[in-house]
Amino acid sequence: MNEFFLKVYEIVRKIPRGRVSTYGAIARYLGTTKSSRLVGYAMNLSHQYDPSIPAHRVVNRNGLLTGKHHFATPTLMQELLEAEGILVKDNKVQNFDKVFWDPSKML
Partner DNA sequence: GGTGTGACCAGCT
Partner DNA sequence: AAGCTGGCCACAC
Sign of the Cα torsion 62, 41, 55, 2 reads negative
Does the footprint of DNA cover residue 62 (CB under 7 A)? Answer: yes
Q: What are phi and psi of 17, to 5 degrees?
A: -60, 135
DSSP run (H or E) holding 28: helix 23-29
Does the footprint of DNA cover residue 55 (CB under 7 A)? Answer: yes
CB nearer DNA, residue 32 or residue 84: 32
Neighbouring C-alpha atoms within 13 Å toward the C-beta of 90: 2
Min separation Cβ 22 and DNA, Å: 4
Does the footprint of DNA cover residue 8 (CB under 7 A)? Answer: no
Does the footprint of DNA cover residue 40 (CB under 7 A)? Answer: yes
Among 11, 15, 30, 46, binds DNA (CB under 7 A): 46
Among 68, 78, 81, 101, binds DNA (CB under 7 A): 68
C-alpha–C-alpha distance, residues 55 and 36, integer Å: 15
Cβ neighbours around 82 below 10 Å, total: 11
Note the residues at the interface with DNA (CB under 7 A). Answer: 1-2, 4-5, 22-24, 27-28, 32-41, 43-47, 55-56, 58, 60-62, 66-71, 77
